[in-house]
């Protein structure tokens, strides 16, 4: 009986780790901010994201990932000189939790509004998370995660 319980626990942990490999963690965001768009393209393609066409492909990149159950992640990267700005639009609760749990200790007490969370991370930048209602499914939320790098963060060519 104990071996069945242990086997189920191992299977659940390995499934959870497998499910999160496509989500972007705090370390992944740091990597995207410190590297150029070509390295970001390779990195996000390896995670399983599909690149979408955008008008100004030289300075903007858009990647999408669809999950079962109508869940999705959309990652927008914008190059402004030597800085990379990252925006993650998702309706995946796990993506929100993964980012929020890793930066929870950096929360700024004065947020921009009731549905906005602001974080100031030394040697990285500011992260703003906006939580909104989903227009299609009232049981789901939409999360908009904006990452603005500090002035001393530059993408490596």
Q: Rounded to two decimals, what is the model's pTM?
A: 0.81
Taking the C-alpha atoms of residue 92 and residue 4, their distance in angstroms, rounded to an integer, is: 31
Taking the C-alpha atoms of residue 144 and residue 91, their distance in angstroms, rounded to an integer, is: 9
* Residue 128: pLDDT over 70: yes
Rg of the chain taking only CA atoms, in angstroms: 17
Q: What is the pLDDT of residues 57-114, one digit of tens each?
A: 678 999 999 999 889 999 999 998 889 999 999 999 999 999 999 999 888 866 567 7
Taking the C-alpha atoms of residue 96 and residue 79, their distance in angstroms, rounded to an integer, is: 24
Q: Where are the domains of the chain?
A: 23-149
Identify the burial level of 124 via C-beta atoms within 10 angstroms of its C-beta, where 0-12 means exposed, 13-18 middle and 19 or more buried.
buried
Looking at residue 111, what is its pLDDT?
A: 57
């Amino acid at each position: 009986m104990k071996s069945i319980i242990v086997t189920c626990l191992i299977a659940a942990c390995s499934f959870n780790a497998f499910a999160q490999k496509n989500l972007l963690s705090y370390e992944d965001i740091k990597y995207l901010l410190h590297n150029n768009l070509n390295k970001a393209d390779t990195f996000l393609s390896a995670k399983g994201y599909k690149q979408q066409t955008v008008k100004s492909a030289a300075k903007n990149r858009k990647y999408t990932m669809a999950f079962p159950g109508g869940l999705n992640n959309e990652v927008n990267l914008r190059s402004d000189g030597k800085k990379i700005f990252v925006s993650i639009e998702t309706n995946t609760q796990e993506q929100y939790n993964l980012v929020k749990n890793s930066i929870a200790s950096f929360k700024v007490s004065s947020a921009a509004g009731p549905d906005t969370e602001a974080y100031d991370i030394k040697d990285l930048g500011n992260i703003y998370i906006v939580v909104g209602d989903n227009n299609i499914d009232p049981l789901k939320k939409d999360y908009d995660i904006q990452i603005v790098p500090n002035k001393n963060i530059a993408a490596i060519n």
